[in-house]
Amino acid sequence: MSENKESVVTRFAPSPTGLLHMGNYRTAVFSYLYARKNNGKFILRIEDTDRERSKKEYEENIIESLNWLGLNYDEMYRQSEHVDTHKKYLQKLIDDGHAYISKELAKDGSGIERELVRFKNKEEVITFTDAIRGDITTDTKDLGDFVIAKSITEPLFHLAVVVDDYEEGVTHVIRGEDHIPNTPRQILIARALGFPSPTYAHLPLVLSEDRTKLSKRKGALPVTAYRDMGYLPSAIINFMAFTGWNPGGVEEIFTLEELVKTFDISKVHKGGAIFNEEKLAWMNKEHIRKQTTEEQLSSVKKYMADYDELLLNRLLPTIIDRISAYGELVNIEGSEFRFFMKQPDIDIEKVVWKDDEPSKSKEYLESIKEILAIIDFSSPQVIKEAIMPYATEKGKGNVLWPLRYSLSGQEKSVDPFTICYVLGKVETISRIESVCNKIDS
Ligand code: GLU
């Protein structure tokens, strides 16, 4: 692609006829990266000329998604606002003999005659050099005199795209490979109007894991749905950029700025971009890990607002270890972590390890209590080192199970040392005492 850094202009041109999924936004990511890499401009163009199917709410969702992702655009247009310009160029094509009005019977068999505008195709062979795929040659004879407007006042998709790209100064059209068949038609129109053709780059389609077309049912949710599930925008961007491209090398976790630096459009794959949910979850976890403690805390607090601040600080590493997206806390919080906040109900029968004696379990708990009373709760490791010699002597399960269960009320949970550490000394000892009293009664 041209290295003229001043002049690069790319655009993301979605049709607001539904909620766009991740596969659609991947196009925005590549257009954005290419523009920023070349100090160019990135434009958002809402292609809303289909009045019936275009909806304001979808347009709003697109804007909301791009903002949340941080894919800032320099200019925004609505195609519907430029219909007069499209009409002007349509007239010019007719005046110059490149297009003509054709009266035809409607295909629905109604017998109604309608006026279409067709492009007068000179049936040349057209070759364009795709920045990803190299030369693509089409014999336009096969296209016939294709339709470019429903009537003299209703220009259609190809004409609108060509005119808008020209008027908006677009130099690089980066879009899905499903548009490859449209490109020769658009080149013909551009030539007839005397416009320079932009450089084209057709991205590989994003496929589901079973290699069929990506759909919402197959996991490709709108970007805002991932936001609502507590994914990080940086992870979503990283993931989308890596769907059909990677910079080579082993490093896979990149911020948006790092992606801009490393992006190379000629290395975009020609096919086989697979939407891999597991990889997305992994990437999100990695991005969470890279956040500062303050950032992590502020996200966690959205779900655990009623937790004690100090406790949450100590619990944070455990939480970060156990989640891939913050939204998981909606479920986890109610069960897995609840006992940290509130002493759980204890079923005395469950305190005892396997066929050990209740009186023994009580003895172990009391010994542990004494050990804990004199140490510093400075880390889970310190607590572990203090308890382990005793536990090893008496039997690990016999000692550690009653301790862990007494503190958590859960048959499965994080290790007892981490629980002690997070609860703090006072709360830990008080919970142990209350269980010992219960065993007595
Ligand atoms: N509006 C078209 C779409 O949503 C994109 C047109 C283009 O990128 O040229 O598929």
- Tell me the average pLDDT of the chain: 94
pLDDT single digits (tens) 329-342: 987 766 688 899 88
Please tell me the predicted confidence (pLDDT) of residue 198: 97
Beta carbons of 177 and 205 less than 8 angstroms apart: yes
pLDDT single digits (tens) 286-341: 999 999 999 999 999 999 988 899 999 999 999 999 999 999 998 776 668 889 98
Q: Which residues line ligand 1 (CB under 6 A)?
A: 13-15, 47, 161, 175, 179
Beta carbons of 146 and 119 less than 8 angstroms apart: yes
pLDDT single digits (tens) 349-373: 999 999 899 999 999 999 999 999 9
Q: Which atom of ligand 1 is nearest to the CA of 186?
A: 9
Per the structure block, which two tokens stand in for 152? 């003299």
Please tell me the predicted confidence (pLDDT) of residue 335: 67
Q: Tell me the average pLDDT across 92-102.
A: 98
Q: Which atom of ligand 1 is nearest to the CA of 175?
A: 8
Output the CA 14–ligand 1 centroid distance in Å.
5
**250 burial level (CB within 10 Å; 0-12, 13-18, 19+):** exposed
Please tell me the predicted confidence (pLDDT) of residue 300: 95
Output the CA 270–ligand 1 centroid distance in Å.
19
Output the CA 217–ligand 1 centroid distance in Å.
22
Please tell me the predicted confidence (pLDDT) of residue 120: 98
134 φ/ψ angles, rounded to the nearest 5 degrees = 80, -155
Q: Tell me the average pLDDT across 113-122.
A: 95
- The CATH classification of domain 216-290, taken from the options 1.10.287.1060, 1.10.1160.10, 3.60.15.10, 3.40.640.10: 1.10.1160.10
Please tell me the predicted confidence (pLDDT) of residue 334: 63
pLDDT single digits (tens) 371-411: 999 999 999 999 999 999 999 999 999 999 999 999 999 99
Closest of 238, 332, 249, 217 to residue 281, by C-alpha: 238
**121 or 210: which leads in pLDDT:** 121
Q: Alpha-carbon distance 146 to 185, whole Å? A: 8
State yes or no: pLDDT of 2 exceeds 50: no
- The separation between the first and the last C-alpha atoms of the chain, rounded to the nearest angstrom, is 81
Confidence of residue 212 (pLDDT cuts 50, 70, 90): confident
CATH code of the domain occupying 348-440: 1.10.10.350
CA distances from 312 to 27, 106, 133, 220, 339 (A): 39, 68, 52, 33, 12
Q: Which atom of ligand 1 is nearest to the CA of 12?
A: 8
Q: State pTM to two decimals.
A: 0.90
pLDDT single digits (tens) 8-23: 999 999 999 999 998 8
Show Cβ contacts of residue 195 under 8 Å, excluding neighbours closer than 6 positions.
Answer: 162, 166
User: Residues of the chain with pLDDT > 90: what percent?
Assistant: 88
